[in-house]
Structure 1
Amino acid sequence: MNGSLRSPTSEGADRRNAALSESLVLAAVIFAACLFGIYTRPLGFLANVWPANAIMLGLLLRRPAMASLPGWLAAGAAYMAADLLTGSTLVKALLLNGANMVGIGAAYAICVRLPKSKLRMEHPASLLDIALASAVGAAAAGIVGGFANPILFGGGVVSGWTFWFATEFVNYVTILPVILSAPRRGTVLPKWEEVQPQISSRLALPVLAVLFSGLAAMVIGGPGAIAFPVPALLWCGLVYPVFPTALLTLLFGLWSLAIISTTYLPGAQGLYDETALISVRLAASLIAIGPIMLAVVMQNRKELLSRLHHLATHDQLTGAANRHAFLENARKLVAGNTPVAVLMIDLDHFKAVNDTYGHAAGDEVLSAFAQRVRACLRPGDAFGRVGGEEFAAVIPKCPKPDAFQITTRIREAVSGTPISLSDGRLIKLTASIGFSLSPETEPLGIERLLASADAALYRAKAHGRDRVEIWELAVPTG
């Protein structure tokens, strides 16, 4: 029996172990989040910051394996354990956590039906749908909370629902976007050496503006203080991607709940005036939506412009740069990067391919040929399609021996292995290459280098094709 084959029993055991592992991770995270919320809870009242529900909803959406029956049961046990271990009565723990689970379930029932692009915060309307789901979850939790309020805190049903709704909504709206927009597992992050040249002091200005506006709100105070950071947060939405903007908005939400709601609103003064707290929490929720929505829109705009730029500068068949974009890039590479090798590459007898196999096959050949050439070039080299079956490349800082090595490698890559068509047919091709070299003593323009490489290409064709020729440039010495 092949040792690589596994029985259905062992595969089922692996799935059960994976589900158990996911459930335990979820329970541990929820337990820690509950403790954080409990220890920020004012005496005899609900917590100022209660991240557990939004974190659980985010994890269920990001890691669907957690949204199993064992996962829900483990999370419920974690909620109960956190309350009971910190001194809550069984009745209080059941009422509070019943509201938590009902709210999460209602929000999850909506979010799980949303397209993946919206759950990944990639769609302009992402936050609207998430805010709607958050409102439904908060309202559902508020129904349980409304009935629990007279029992636990001696308040009214309506006031309990209102306060519960505001508290749940602000936590969902500020925390959930951070979890949903966080980089996904397997995302290749750029190296510091690649990012550092793009970083400028101007990128720090929006963050500094958020900090200074927060300080101004604390110094000046008053009922309008919560709105002071709004322009700075919108600036962040214009400049930063979704995840950093969501993170800054979360910090704003925590700041507004923990600082303004307890200290800087008239009438609060540490007394936790219920109307003021509800007002602040709803205001923080609505303020948080704007910057993140703007960041999503800007991210979509950048991606759209990037796609349009690629369409405008690249040949759609081969993926190589088109003639205009290639020449523009080539001029930059030629300037000050001597010695520079400029290559002209042509597929031999390509017209016969179109005549024999058809134009669709010819398109496949061109695409495969371009891939092979690109594989022989360095990341910083320029490569473009300048004619029907003619391609060009610019290789900066490339002395003559290296240029011969690269051109020979390209020729062998084309002729060494037949190109396989989608219908299974094989086509064996060759390529002729001509190249010119800009001397170190006197940099030459791209037009002259291309003309010389083209002359070398025609010489290669005249000498039998499937070969490399160099055009020696004569440079005046005085």
Structure 2
Amino acid sequence: MQTRAPGLRPGREFDGAKTADIRAAIVVLSGVFAASLFGILTRPVGDLAAFWPANAILLGLMVRFQGLARPSGWIAAALGYVAADLVTGGTLLSTLLLSAANLFGVGVGFALFSRLDEQYRRLRRPLSVMYLVVITAIAAAAAGVIGAVANPILFGKGAASGWTFWFATELVNFMAILPLVLSFPDITWQGLRKSAFPRHVRLASIWPVLALIGSAAASVLVGGPGAMAFPAPALLWCALTYSLFVTSALTFLFSFWILLAISNGYLPIAVDNDAQHALMSIRIGVMLMALAPITVASVMATRNELLDRLKRLAEHDQLTGLLNRSAFRDKASALVSESTRNARPLAVLMADIDHFKSINDTFGHAAGDTVLAAFARCGSGCLRNSDIFGRLGGEEFAIVLADCTAEEALGIAERIRTLFASERVVLADGRPVAATVSIGCGSSRSSHPGIDHLLLVADNALYAAKAAGRNRVIVAASERQE
């Protein structure tokens, strides 16, 4: 008896799982090793690292890409920690203790993050930052438990001070880096192209970054205990101006800079940097400063998402998903004006479902809705992203074709008509409905008289198509054709 799908090679599932394990191990091992080396090489001599990105990066990767959180991924993470410490001269005992603290904190954080919905994990909800703070605090406290054991053994200091130092340091690193990883945009070529090569960069959007740089420079020049708070207003300005990811990136850079500047003496704050309680206070202060812009940016991201949804509801027909009459006229008018400025040809199509009233009377209004949605789907499949497609009302639709001659518009209209006529529209009860469409076309080569006139020309051509027997396309050149 055959128990596997035909053509499926025996062991293919095993091979696929093995490949995924290897891929996860490579990604995690390289990421943890590189981040650990960075933390080790930037730490003061004879002390723990002031900035340790490895744990936050590992936790962020595991949360964002949960396919990495497989046994091979965790084993690779352990190897990455151990290898980085050993190649930089760490003893076996210190390496094992520090690696255990790192993995324990990350493991606790991952277990808690896994219980959240993806929208909360990606910081896209108002309460996301609250969950982030609570989970990272618990994860940092868990790492501190191992730190309490390691501190007397490695540094000859008390267990309580070890827990406190580990907790504060881990919390700061988590809060600085995790938002950056969790809010990182999904990787697509289109998204990268838009973010890397924006069409329009407003000069006003540069001012928040300049303010952040200026305030950071002022904190170095002025110094004193309050100097590290100088960039706070600029960070909030950035949160109100930029996306969540950009704000997270700027907050990360600020946290990284402030911790390194203080630990290496570049930022004089008039306190004893060797006192552990002073370092703990500074690091918690940096964490709280980083929390403010992330919170604002998360709320702004939720607000912008809601505004986009409301705008779509206000501009689109709910049945077909096309632009409604008001939004179509606004966008069409703008496109006509742009085509006039650039002296480019433009065409307008008016379409009307044939015998639509008869379809409603025979099959019911639900059948009419199905036919309208089918036409919207057929028409959208024949258009470019730059074209504008809207439902003006009832069974009447309009299309604006930018940079399109009358001959090209005729070809597009014929494709739409033919595709819709061949579309198999089946109702919920299984009955088929045959429907056709008549289309009128108005066009202008360079000097366009306005959307109202072009719609009127296309509408007259549409009525001519109806009078000629329906299920056809009629082209009527605009009176302003040149």
Same fold (TM over 0.5): yes
Please point out which of 33, 36, 43 is paired with 1:41: 43
Deviation, 1:200, is: 2.0
Equivalent residue, structure 2, for 1:455:
460
Please point out which of 346, 365, 374 is paired with 1:340: 346
Equivalent residue, structure 2, for 1:233:
235
Q: For 2:462 and 2:399, how far apart are their aligned partners in 1?
A: 13
Equivalent residue, structure 1, for 2:363:
357
1:36-91 C-alpha deviation (Å, 9 max, x unpaired): 22222323321111111111111221222332233223322332233233333332
Please point out which of 385, 388, 395 is paired with 2:394: 388
Deviation, 1:256, is: 0.9
Distance 1:328 1:79, change over 3 A: closer
Matched, 1:106 2:108: yes
Q: For 1:41 and 1:476, how far apart are their aligned partners in 2?
A: 73
Equivalent residue, structure 2, for 1:308:
310
Deviation, 1:472, is: 5.0
Distance 1:134 1:16, change over 3 A: same
Distance 1:194 1:412, change over 3 A: farther
Equivalent residue, structure 1, for 2:68:
66
Deviation, 1:305, is: 1.0
In structure 1, what residue type is equivalent to 2:288? L
Equivalent residue, structure 2, for 1:465:
470
Q: For 1:229 and 1:355, how far apart are their aligned partners in 2?
A: 68
Instruction: Judge which range, 82-91 or 151-160, deviates more.
Output: 82-91
Q: For 2:439 and 2:84, how far apart are their aligned partners in 1?
A: 73
SS at match of 2:210: helix
In structure 2, what residue type is equivalent to 1:163? F
Equivalent residue, structure 1, for 2:420:
414
Deviation, 1:192, is: 5.5
Q: For 1:247 and 1:439, how far apart are their aligned partners in 2?
A: 48
Equivalent residue, structure 1, for 2:8:
5
Distance 1:95 1:377, change over 3 A: closer
SS at match of 2:448: coil
Equivalent pair of 1:49/1:254 in contact (CA under 8 Å): yes
Equivalent residue, structure 2, for 1:83:
85
Query: In angstroms, what is the RMSD of aligned CA positions?
Result: 2.5
Equivalent pair of 2:220/2:268 in contact (CA under 8 Å): no
SS at match of 1:344: strand
1:86-121 C-alpha deviation (Å, 9 max, x unpaired): 333332222222222221222222111111111122
Deviation, 1:282, is: 0.5
Q: For 2:8 and 2:406, how far apart are their aligned partners in 1?
A: 54
Equivalent pair of 1:262/1:268 in contact (CA under 8 Å): no
1:231-277 C-alpha deviation (Å, 9 max, x unpaired): 111111111111111111111111111002442344457x5332221
Equivalent residue, structure 1, for 2:124:
122
Deviation, 1:26, is: 1.4
In structure 2, what residue type is equivalent to 1:34? S
Please point out which of 173, 196, 199 is paired with 1:197: 199
Equivalent residue, structure 1, for 2:184:
182
Deviation, 1:475, is: 5.8
Distance 1:190 1:77, change over 3 A: closer
Deviation, 1:400, is: 2.6
Equivalent pair of 1:48/1:257 in contact (CA under 8 Å): yes
After the TM superposition, which residues 121-270 of structure 1 pair with which residues of structure 2 at under 5 Å, given as runs?
A: 121-186=123-188, 188-189=190-191, 191=193, 195-263=197-265, 264-268=267-271
After the TM superposition, which residues 262-341 of structure 1 pair with which residues of structure 2 at under 5 Å, given as runs?
A: 262-263=264-265, 264-268=267-271, 272-335=274-337, 336=340, 339-341=345-347
Equivalent residue, structure 2, for 1:18:
20
Q: For 1:301 and 1:228, how far apart are their aligned partners in 2?
A: 28
In structure 2, what residue type is equivalent to 1:459? A
Distance 1:93 1:438, change over 3 A: closer
SS at match of 2:323: coil
Deviation, 1:156, is: 2.0
Structure 1 unpaired stretches of 5+: none
Instruction: Judge which range, 78-87 or 276-285, deviates more.
Output: 78-87
Instruction: Judge which range, 37-46 or 385-394, deviates more.
Output: 37-46
1:270-322 C-alpha deviation (Å, 9 max, x unpaired): x5332221111101111111111211211221121111111111111111111
Q: For 1:390 and 1:21, how far apart are their aligned partners in 2?
A: 53
Distance 1:401 1:192, change over 3 A: same
In structure 1, what residue type is equivalent to 2:97? L
Distance 1:308 1:476, change over 3 A: closer
Deviation, 1:326, is: 1.4
Q: For 1:127 and 1:351, how far apart are their aligned partners in 2?
A: 54
Equivalent residue, structure 2, for 1:366:
372
Q: For 1:296 and 1:302, how far apart are their aligned partners in 2?
A: 10
Equivalent pair of 1:30/1:55 in contact (CA under 8 Å): yes
Equivalent pair of 2:225/2:271 in contact (CA under 8 Å): no
Instruction: Judge which range, 148-157 or 289-298, deviates more.
Output: 148-157
Equivalent residue, structure 1, for 2:443:
437
1:345-381 C-alpha deviation (Å, 9 max, x unpaired): 1010112222222222221110110121222233222
Report the TM-score, using the length of structure 2 for normalisation: 0.91
Deviation, 1:423, is: 4.9
Equivalent pair of 1:381/1:396 in contact (CA under 8 Å): yes
Q: For 2:253 and 2:70, how far apart are their aligned partners in 1?
A: 31
Equivalent pair of 1:262/1:272 in contact (CA under 8 Å): no
In structure 2, what residue type is equivalent to 1:23? A
In structure 2, what residue type is equivalent to 1:359? H
In structure 2, what residue type is equivalent to 1:390? E
Instruction: Judge which range, 28-37 or 127-136, deviates more.
Output: 28-37
SS at match of 2:198: helix
Matched, 1:376 2:382: yes
